[in-house]
Structure 1
Amino acid sequence: QEFQKLFRVRWEDALSKGLVYNAADGATKLGVKPLEVSTKWEKLKRGVDMVKFGGGFYVGKIDDIYLVNGFYTRMRAKFTAPGTCIKYFEVEWDPEVLPWEVFRAEVIGATNPMEAAGDSIRNAIFQQWESLGLKSEPDTGDNGAHASASPFEGLVEKANWLDVKMAEDPFGARLTGAGISQETISFWAGDPPVDFEGKKQSLFDLLEDLDVNPCLEKAIKIASGVKNSAFVFIKPHAVTQKVEELVRQKLEAHKISVVQSGQIDAGVIDKNKLIDKHYGAIASRAVLQKPKELVVQESAKQEFQKLFRVRWEDALSKGLVYNATDGA
């Protein structure tokens, strides 16, 4: 509905007309290189020619097609450029002392570092970026640091980045101990749409900001006393010794224990496709998935139609929607 309201076309019609592309196919359709898709995407504005369908799921109109997650190609390049790296911290804390929602909002900070809580990691990096040794002012994309959005995403991210065996992780052990198969957990790791309360919703969105017990209750209906455990990393643009010290101090100030920390270089990130797995749904929509395979809510379709004056289904059927790669 949101898509249709914005672009004046139903999502189904845009799909059926072949107007929706993932980033990979969209690059080809537009006749540009993958990174150029991101350049075009950066000119879009949410509510004008771009709509958010859900967590990590955006559709924007570029020329006469609708592109899914066209920003991803540039995002990936930042993590795989030679000489870059991330600095990581595997952390844990008592959920009774610090709820996950507060951890994300006040310790890490909002996605936009300018709007993040004043004492948060992201806002601190934003305010001190020059003295911390950054080359440019942080923004929504380069916002200094990332942290898991839930205990389940923490499990998935540790498995991806640190090769942690899910069944050996405390939270993963609870899942498997409750009879949830490794295959199911692996499937969930891709953030699939799941049926919940009468509609399909993102699994990650359903578990977002929940502490370990509520997360377990929602995922497997079993409560547990396992500590919250997340994966935090400093993004490539913000990797300096001073930023690393700042992040560590902020975590310790909130009684968050650093279980281990280290560095993962760009070559390893690229070779093992760690950033692609990390941004699984985003990357898939940008590079792998075809527009017709996307699950789009009615509200998003209406917003699409309102913004672009064309139904999502019509854009699809006319072959105007590409993923970021094909769009290039």
Structure 2
Amino acid sequence: QEFQKLFRVRWEDALSKGLVYNAADGATKLGVKPLEVSTKWEKLKRGVDMVKFGGGFYVGKIDDIYLINGFYTRMRAKFTAPGTCIKYLEVEWNPEALPWETFRAQVIGATNPVEAAGDSIRNTIFQQWDNLGLKAEPDTGDNGVHASASPFEGLVEKANWLDVKMAEDPFGARLTGAGISQETISFWAGDPPVDFEGKKQSLFDLLEDLDVNPCLEKAIKIASGVKNSAFVFIKPHAVTQKVEELVRQKLEAHKISVVQSGQIDAGVIDKNKLIDKHYGAIASRAVLQKPKELVVQESAKQEFQKLFRVRWEDALSKGLVYNATDGA
């Protein structure tokens, strides 16, 4: 509905007319290189020619097609450029003392560092970026740090970045102990659409901001006393000693313990496709998935139609929607 309202075309029509592309296919359709797709994407504005369908799921209109996650190619390049790295911290804390939602909103801060809580890590880096040794002012994409959105995403991210065996992780052990197979957990790791409360929804969205017990209750209908455990990393643009010290101080101030920390260089990130796995759903929509394969909610379709004055289904059927790669 949101897609249709914005672009004045139904999502189904855009798909059926071949107007929706993932980033990879969209690059080809537009006749440009993948990174050029990101350049075009950066000119889009949410609510004008771009709509958010869900966590990590955006559709923007570029020329006469609708592109999925056209920003991804440039985001990936920042993690794989020679000489760059991330600094990671595996952390844990008592959920009774600090709810996960508060951890993300107050400790880490909102995605847009300008709008983040005043004493949060992201806003502090934004306010002090020059003194902290950053080359440019942080923005929504380069916002200093990443942190897991839920205990389940923390499990998935630790498995990806640190090669942690899911069944050996405290939260993962509860999942497998409750009879959830490793195959199912691995499938869930890709943030698939799942049937819940009568409609298909993002698994990650359903578990977002939940503490470990509510997360377990929702995922496997049981309670647990496992501590919250997340994966936090400092993004390449913000890797300086001062930022690392700042992040540690902020975490410790909220009684969040650092279990382990380290560095992962760009070569390893690129070779093992860690950033692609991390941004699995975003990367898939940008490079692998075809627009017709995407699950788009009615509200998003209406917004698409309102913005672009064409139904999502029509855009698809006309071959106007590409992923970021094909769009290039």
Q: TM-score, normalised by structure 1?
A: 1.00
Name the SS for the 1:127 alignment partner.
helix
TM-superposed deviation, 1:34: 0.2
TM-superposed deviation, 1:187: 0.2
TM-superposed deviation, 1:77: 0.3
CA distance in 2, matches of 1:108, 1:265: 23
TM-superposed deviation, 1:325: 0.2
TM-superposed deviation, 1:113: 0.4
CA distance in 2, matches of 1:297, 1:225: 35
TM-superposed deviation, 1:12: 0.6
TM-superposed deviation, 1:273: 0.3
TM-superposed deviation, 1:158: 0.1
Q: Name structure 1 gaps, 5 residues minimum.
A: none
CA distance in 2, matches of 1:302, 1:253: 44
Q: Counterparts of 1:43-54 in structure 2 under 5 Å? A: 43-54=43-54
Name the SS for the 1:204 alignment partner.
helix
What do the CA deviations read for 1:151-179 (whole angstroms, capped 9, x no partner)? Answer: 00000000000000000000000000000
CA distance in 2, matches of 1:183, 1:152: 15
CA distance in 1, matches of 2:14, 2:118: 42
Q: Kindly indicate whether residue 311 of structure 2 is the aligned counterpart of residue 311 of structure 1.
A: yes
What do the CA deviations read for 1:45-84 (whole angstroms, capped 9, x no partner)? Answer: 0010000000000000000000000000000000000000
CA distance in 2, matches of 1:221, 1:182: 17
Name the SS for the 1:255 alignment partner.
coil
TM-superposed deviation, 1:270: 0.3
CA distance in 2, matches of 1:326, 1:88: 33
Name the SS for the 2:5 alignment partner.
helix
What do the CA deviations read for 1:8-51 (whole angstroms, capped 9, x no partner)? Answer: 11111110110000000000000000000000000000010000
CA distance in 2, matches of 1:115, 1:311: 33
Name the SS for the 1:307 alignment partner.
helix
Q: TM-score, normalised by structure 2?
A: 1.00
TM-superposed deviation, 1:3: 0.6
TM-superposed deviation, 1:221: 0.5
Residue 12 of structure 2 corresponds to 12
Q: Name structure 2 gaps, 5 residues minimum.
A: none
Name the SS for the 1:87 alignment partner.
strand
TM-superposed deviation, 1:194: 0.5
CA distance in 1, matches of 2:106, 2:299: 31
Name the SS for the 1:237 alignment partner.
helix
Residue 219 of structure 1 corresponds to 219
What do the CA deviations read for 1:253-302 (whole angstroms, capped 9, x no partner)? Answer: 00000000000000000000000000000000000000000000011000
CA distance in 2, matches of 1:135, 1:264: 20
CA distance in 2, matches of 1:250, 1:238: 15
How many percent identity over aligned positions?
96
